Structure 1
Amino acid sequence: MKTKAVLEAADVQRVLEAAVAEAQSNQWAVTIAIVDDGGHLLALRRLDGCAPIGAHIAVEKARSAALGRRETKGYEDMINQGRTAFLSAPVQGLLEGGVPVVVDGQTVGAVGVSGVKADQDAQIAKAGIAVL
């Protein structure tokens, strides 16, 4: 049997705090979602001023990044380059802003962000993950 790393509550809190700090330093009103490797929600924070739909979108971005073990930007790029059949895939977070958390080559979870421009969402997610 193999042993794998998992996100613990303290890890989730550190990632969330770092992501919130990145968003607030840029005055961005976003929602930040953190999921485990199965796409199950571990944390959700909607900052003041973020539209309520951001909570749904951030979770789906995180879930898609965790289950697909890749950044959701790749899915968005694939669709934008003409592979529209991928829209029928059983995932919903196909927009940039979902970033997997990878430890020792294994995806242990993901962070999804929604509320500002796509590359800014990803910037916030990566800032959170960087604390690990």
Structure 2
Amino acid sequence: MATLCGGYVAHAASAADVASSTPPDSATVDTYSLSYAATTRLLDNATAAAKSHQLALSFAIVDPGGHLIAAARMDGAPFASVDFARGKAFASVALGGQAGATLEQRFKDNPSEYTNMSAAGYYAPFLPARGALPIFIGGHLVGALGASGAPSEVDEQAVKDAIEAIGATSTR
């Protein structure tokens, strides 16, 4: 399966579900993102985690550049929760693959750090808050998954469960 990634065709690298691309010139820069199959499994696992707790959540998955790959709003999830999930995921990758809890604490410690970030997201919301985790496969940041619709700790646990279910991690 081939996908377009950063202007170059990327092929699924292996069972790890990472799409990688190398520019066609002599450059040695690789980029990494989630494959469509991994994205689908992440959403399936995240919604299953929410259902197991009788919750209706929204989820958003972004690539390492913060571009939306996929989003889902479960039946009964709160209004605008998918936008909050996207904002959490975007903030995670925009600041280098950090957990939402870390970003939330940085905001509390120094709110002015984020005053000019709203324009950085190509109209994406920027929400440094719990409920999002970066996704690492083979040590590479491949995106982030954000959730919204429940208390942030619950959102984050659903995200963590979904990431681990595909064999990825939320830390390098």
Same fold (TM over 0.5): yes
Kindly report which structure 2 residues correspond to 1:30-69, keeping only aligned pairs within 5 A, or say none: 30-68=57-95, 69=97
CA contact (8 A) 1:5 1:103 kept: no
The CA deviation at 1:49 is 1.4
- The 3-state SS of whatever aligns with 2:143 is strand
Aligned residues: 131
Residue deviations 1:86-121 (CA, integer Å, cap 9, x gap): 241405211101110012222110000001011111
- The 3-state SS of whatever aligns with 1:49 is coil
Aligned to 1:78: 106
- The 3-state SS of whatever aligns with 2:34 is coil
Aligned to 1:114: 148
Question: What do you get for the CA RMSD once the two structures are aligned?
Answer: 1.4
Aligned to 1:129: 163
Aligned to 1:23: 50
Bigger Rg over Cα: 2
**TM-score of the superposed pair, with normalisation by structure 1:** 0.91
Q: Hey, which of these two has a bigger chunk of strand by percent?
A: 2
**TM-score of the superposed pair, with normalisation by structure 2:** 0.71
Task: List runs of 5+ in structure 2 lacking aligned partners.
Answer: 1-27, 119-125, 167-172
Q: Which moved more, 1:45-54 or 1:1-10?
A: 1-10
Q: Give 4+ residue runs of structure 1 displaced > 2 Å after superposition.
A: 2-6
CA contact (8 A) 2:61 2:69 kept: yes
Higher relative contact order (CA 8 A, sep 6+): 1
C-alpha spacing 1:89/1:131, structure 2 compared with 1 (3 Å) = farther
CA contact (8 A) 2:131 2:147 kept: yes
Identity over aligned residues, as a percent? 30
1:12 aligns with 2:26: no
Task: List runs of 5+ in structure 1 lacking aligned partners.
Answer: none
Output the CA distance in 1 between the equivalents of 2:139 and 2:54.
Answer: 33
Output the CA distance in 2 between the equivalents of 1:57 and 1:100.
Answer: 16
CA contact (8 A) 1:75 1:95 kept: yes
C-alpha spacing 1:34/1:95, structure 2 compared with 1 (3 Å) = same
The CA deviation at 1:75 is 1.5
